[in-house]
Amino acid sequence: MPRVVPDQRSKFENDELFRKLGRDSELRYTGYRDRAQEERQMRFVNSCREGHAQLSFVATGTNLHLQFYPNSWSETTDRKPTKEYVDFDKEIGKVCLKSQFILNGVCVIWRGYIDLNRLDGVGHVEFDSQRAKEEDEIYRATMEQQNRRLREFEERTMLHRKEFEQQVGREVST
């Protein structure tokens, strides 16, 4: 099953969800809501340092579990967020975050910041053209392989059908 849709850019530009998420929108950290604010702040900072966090777009109610490191789609287990993805130093009292992922079959980059005291902030998604190109190549190769297998299957089926018909014809004639 392909991970992306055939025309990612078109879907990103025309889909209502992407139009909403593409604008700067209010965000909230959604982890550990049942805990005290100080504990939530500590857990949020620790999660960011580990390379992940649960955030929600307030206006749309879209919840995301984001991962903040390069190649988040890869199988590697050695994942450490870099300053490009988690930056506590850019603005005092805030953490600037970046995440790459596939959303509804479209490669996107999420960018935003979260206030470390209030645990809310602003963020948006952008079309990730570089990753989209890579995923599109994988998609095309997968589809070609699938079509090749289907042709081979159909050829084997036809061959078996002809052999069966010949065998039945020989049995009938004897």
Listing DSSP states for 47-75 in one string gives HHHHTEEEEEETTTTEEEEEE-STTTTS-
Q: What is the pLDDT of residue 163?
A: 87
Q: In the predicted model, is pLDDT for residue 167 greater than 90?
A: no
Mean pLDDT within 3-16: 91
Proportion of the chain above pLDDT 90, given as a percent: 63
User: What mean pLDDT do residues 50-58 have?
Assistant: 93
Identify whether 77 is part of a domain. Answer: yes
In a domain, 160, yes or no: no
Domain for residue 171, yes or no?
no
- For residue 117, tell me if it sits in a domain: yes
Residue at 35 is within a domain: yes
Residue 73 corresponds to which tokens in the numbers above? 């789609």
- 12-31 per-position pLDDT tens digit: 999 999 999 999 999 999 99
Q: pLDDT tens digits, residue range 64-78?
A: 999 998 765 555 556
Q: Which residues form the domain of 123?
A: 8-128
* Res 78: pLDDT: 60
pLDDT, averaged across the chain:
89
pTM attached to this predicted model: 0.76
pLDDT (mean) for 86-103: 94
Residue 136 included in any domain = no
User: Residue 144: how many CA atoms within 13 Å on its side-chain side?
Assistant: 6
| Percent helix / strand / coil, the chain, rounded to 5 | 40, 25, 30
Average pLDDT rounded to a whole number, residues 37-66? 93
Question: Which of 39-53, 72-86, 106-120, 132-146 bottoms out in mean pLDDT, i.e. has the lowest?
Answer: 72-86
Domain CATH number, residue 25 = 2.40.250.10
Q: How confident is the model at residue 41 (pLDDT cuts 50, 70, 90)?
A: very high
- Whether 83 is in a domain gets the answer yes
- Number of domains observed in the structure of the chain: 1
End-to-end CA distance of the chain: 49
Residue 151 belongs to a domain: no
